[in-house]
Structure 1
Amino acid sequence: MEEKRYSRMLMPSILSVSLLTIMAPTAISPALAAIREAFPQISATQAKLVLTLPTLIMMPLGLYSARLTARIDKKKLLLVGMTLFLVFGVAGGFVNDFRLLLLMRVLFGIGLGIMTPLSTSLIFDFAPDPGRRSKLLGIQGASNQLGGLVFMSLSGVLANISWRYSFLCYAFVIVSIVLTTFFLPSIPPLQPKESAAGSGKQRLDKKLFILAFFAMMIFACYFVINTDLALFMDVEGIGDAEECGYALSLMRIPAILAGVMLAWIMRKLKDWTMSFASVIMAAGYLIIAASHSYGILMVGCLIVGLGGGFALPPISLFLPRIVTPRQRTLGVAIIMSVAQLGQFISPLYTDLFVNSADPESSRMRFVVSAITTIVIGLMILAFARTLPKKPIAEN
C-alpha cells in the first residue's frame, strides 16, 4: 500500500490507537492502593488482578483477532474493539462488587485484545519500506509511552478524589474512534494465495515463539513498576496515589524520547539494542530498590522509562527476519498477545523469588526484575545472531 495515496491523518489515526493499547491495562495503577482499601476483604495479589486480568484475556483474543482479519475488514474490527474498550473500561468505576469489577476488566480485555495486534499490523500494511517502518514503530513506541503519561497523570489526580474516577481516563478512546472512522481506509480481507499443487499451509517458524517468550519476559519485567510501585510507596511511606501517578507518568517522558531516537539507535547498535536497553532498565530498578526518598525513586523511574522505551518496540522489528509478509499480521498478534501475558505473570513471576512475609519483599521484587532483564537482554542478543540479516520474502 502506498501511504501517499491516503490522508495525512492516516498515521496519526493509527498512532492514536497506540496511545491506548500497551499502557491501558495499567493506566489505573495509581488507584490500586485505594481500590484495595475500598474492598478490604481482598489481598494485595487479588487487587493486582484489576491490572493483570485484561492482559490474560488479551492473549487469546489477539490471536483470534488476527484470524478474523482474513474474513472481516480491519477498520470495522478495530471500531468494534474500541467500542468495547470505551464501554467496559469506563464501567469499571461504577461497580460496587469486586467480582463485578473483575468482570468489567475481562470484557475490557476483549476490546483491548482486538485493538492491540491491529495497531501494529496496520503500520506493516501502510509502511512497506523497512526504514519508514522502523521510524514509525519507534514513534508508535513513543505513542504508547505518551498514552502512559496521559493516563497515569490523569488517573493519579482522579484517584486522589475517588478510585472510581480513575476509570474515566478510558474515555479518551472516543478521539481514536472519531479519527479511525473518518481517516482510516477500509482494509478488506486479504485473499488467500494460490498454493502450488501438493503444497500445504506454510508453517510458522518456531523462532517466532522463542521471540514471543522474550517479549513476554521483557514486558513482565517492565510492568513490575506498574503493579508494585503504588504498594511499595504505600508500605515505605514514600508517597500517596497522586505522587505515584506523577512518578509513573514522568517516566514516560524519557521513554517517549527513546522511541523518537530508536531508529537512530538501532542504526548504530543494531542487534545490540536490546542488551543496551536491558542494562539501562536494570539500573533503574536497582535505584528504585535502594530508594528511601521520593526524589531517588523518581530518578529510578525515569531510568526504567528510558530503558523500556528502547526495549519494547524493537521486538516487532525482528518479525520480518522470521516470517513471510503474509504471516506478519498473525506474527504480530502472537508477539503482542504473548507479550501482554507478561503483564499478567509479572506479579506471579516475582512471587517465585520473593517471600511476601519478608519486610524487604517490596524492594526485592525490583531486584529480581533487574537481574531478569539483563539475562533476557543477553539471550535476545544470542538469538538475533541466529536470524538472517535481511527480511524473508514471500515464497
Structure 2
Amino acid sequence: MNKNLLKMAIFSISILTIMAGAAISPALGEISQSFPDASETTIKLLLTLPSVMIIPFIFVASYLTSRFSKKNILLVGMVIYIIGGVGGGLVSSIEMMLVCRAILGIGVGCMLPISTSLVPDFFDGEERTKTMGQVMASTNLGGVILFTASGFLASQSWRVVFSVYSLAVVSIILVYLFLPKVNPVKRSPDAVRLRLPGSVYVYGLGALMVVLVMFSIQSNIALYMVEKEIGDARYAGLIAATSTAAGFVAGLVIAQVKRLLQSYLVAAILFGVATGFGIISLAHDPLLMGVGVGICGFGLGIILPGIMDQVSRQVAPSQIVHAMAIVTSMIFVGQFLSPIILDGIGVLFGNITIEFTYQFLTIGILLTAVTFFILSLRQHILGPKQTIVPKNIDKKQQA
C-alpha cells in the first residue's frame, strides 16, 4: 500500500465534502437576481438544505459499514454527489434546484463518516495527528482553488458554477485505484454494548457551535457585499478563498500552534476569530473584508481538525465511524441552523442587516473567549486535573 497515493485519495474525498454546500456561495447574489420572487432565506437554503439530508444519511452510511466495504459505499456516494451537484445548474426553477441540493446532501452523507474515519483506519500515533492536519490543509487548498474558480464562473453565469461538482469524477478514479478494499468490521457483542464516552457528544456540540458561527461567512458574504455595494461574485469568490487559504496554513502549523498555546489554545483562537468578525463588520472594501475572513478561516482550520483528532482518541477502533458520524452530523446541523438562528437573532433585536449579524457574533465570541481564558488561567494556577483516557479495548478485534 502506497501511503502517499492513499493520502491523495483521502484528500480528494475531503475536498468534495467541504465544497458540497459552499461551492455555489459566490453565485448566491446572481441566483437571487435570477429568481426575484424567492426570499433571501430560500436562497440561503441552497447552501444549507444539503445539510438536512446529510444528517440522516451519515448514520445510514455508518450502519452500512458493518455490511459493506467502505470503498463501495464511497463510490456509490460520489455518483449520487455528481447527479445532485451538477443537476442544480440544469434545472429551471428554484424548487427543482432545491431538490437537486437535497440529492447532493444524500451523496455527501454517504461519504462523510467514512472519509473522517479513513485517517484513524490507516494511521496511528503522531502520524495520525499530522495526517489530520494535512487533510485539513489539502482540503482548504482545494477550497482556495474552487472558491476562486466559482467566483469567476459565477461572473459569467451562475449555472456554470454547478459544473465544479463534476470534479468528483477525479475522486472516483483515485478511490477506485488507491483506496484498499477493507472488509466490513463485524462487531462483537461486547463492542455493541460499549457506549460512546460523553466527551464525544461534548465535542459534537462544540463542533456544532463552531460551524454555526463560521458558516455565516459562506452563507452571507456574497449577499453582504451586495448589501454594502463593495464587490461582485468574483470578489465574493476570492474572499471565500481567503478563508480556505488561511485554513490551509492552519492545517500545516496546527501541531506547532498547539504546543505554543497549550491550555490557552481555545481562548487565543476565539480572540482571533472575534477580531476577524469585528473587521468584517467594519469593512468597507474587499481587501479589509478579506483580512477579516482570513483570520476567521485560520481559527476554523485549527479548531475542527483538533476536535476530530480528539474524538478519534476517545473511542475504541470499532466505534470510530459511529463517533465520527455523531460529530460530523453536528457540523451539518450547525450549517443548517446557521442562517435560521442568526436571521432569527436579527429579527429579535429589530435589525436584520448582515452587518448587525457580524457585530453580534463579534461580541458573543469575545465574551466566550474571555470565559475560556479565565478557565484556562484557573487551571494553570490550580494545576491540571487527572483524567482517564478510554483505552482502545478492541484492538485485537480490529487486528
State the TM-score, normalizing by the size of structure 1. Answer: 0.92
What is the distance in 1 between the residues matched to 2:144 and 2:25? 12
Q: Is the 8 A contact 1:247 1:301 kept in 2?
A: yes
What is the distance in 1 between the residues matched to 2:107 and 2:158? 22
1:81-118 Cα offsets, whole Å, 9 max, x none, are: 11111121011000001111000000000001111121
What is the distance in 1 between the residues matched to 2:5 and 2:363? 42
1:110 to 2:106 alignment? yes
Q: Match of 1:300?
A: 292
1:1-395 alignment, distance < 5 Å:
5-6=1-2, 8-127=4-123, 129-195=124-190, 201-355=193-347, 361-374=353-366, 388=387, 390=389, 392-394=391-393
What is the distance in 1 between the residues matched to 2:304 and 2:362? 16
Shift of 1:171: 1.1
**Worse-superposed segment, 378-387 or 139-148:** 378-387
What is the distance in 1 between the residues matched to 2:98 and 2:227? 25
Shift of 1:306: 1.5
Distance of aligned partners of 1:90 and 1:357 in 2 relative to their CA distance in 1, 3 Å threshold: farther
Shift of 1:286: 0.6
What is the distance in 1 between the residues matched to 2:4 and 2:290? 37
Partner secondary structure for residue 122 of structure 1: helix
Shift of 1:221: 0.7
**After TM superposition, where is structure 1 displaced by more than 4 Å over at least 4 residues in a row?**
356-360, 374-387
Shift of 1:147: 2.7
State the TM-score, normalizing by the size of structure 2. Answer: 0.91
What is the distance in 1 between the residues matched to 2:385 and 2:174? 41
**Number of residue pairs the alignment of both structures matches:** 387
Q: Which one has a larger percent helix, Structure 1 or Structure 2?
A: 2
What is the distance in 2 between the residues matched to 1:169 and 1:214? 31
Partner secondary structure for residue 188 of structure 1: coil
What is the distance in 2 between the residues matched to 1:315 and 1:274? 11
1:98-155 Cα offsets, whole Å, 9 max, x none, are: 111000000000001111121110001000x221111111111112212321221111
Partner secondary structure for residue 108 of structure 1: helix
What is the distance in 2 between the residues matched to 1:54 and 1:386? 41
Distance of aligned partners of 1:7 and 1:265 in 2 relative to their CA distance in 1, 3 Å threshold: closer
What is the distance in 2 between the residues matched to 1:360 and 1:44? 11
Shift of 1:178: 0.6
Residue identity matched to 2:361: S
Q: Is the 8 A contact 1:92 1:101 kept in 2?
A: yes
Residue identity matched to 1:175: V
1:230-271 Cα offsets, whole Å, 9 max, x none, are: 111101101111111111112322210110111222233345
**Worse-superposed segment, 82-91 or 311-320:** 311-320
Q: Is the 8 A contact 1:29 1:51 kept in 2?
A: yes
What is the distance in 2 between the residues matched to 1:379 and 1:25? 32
Q: Is the 8 A contact 1:227 1:347 kept in 2?
A: yes
**Worse-superposed segment, 279-288 or 365-374:** 365-374
Partner secondary structure for residue 17 of structure 1: helix
* CA-based RMSD: 2.3
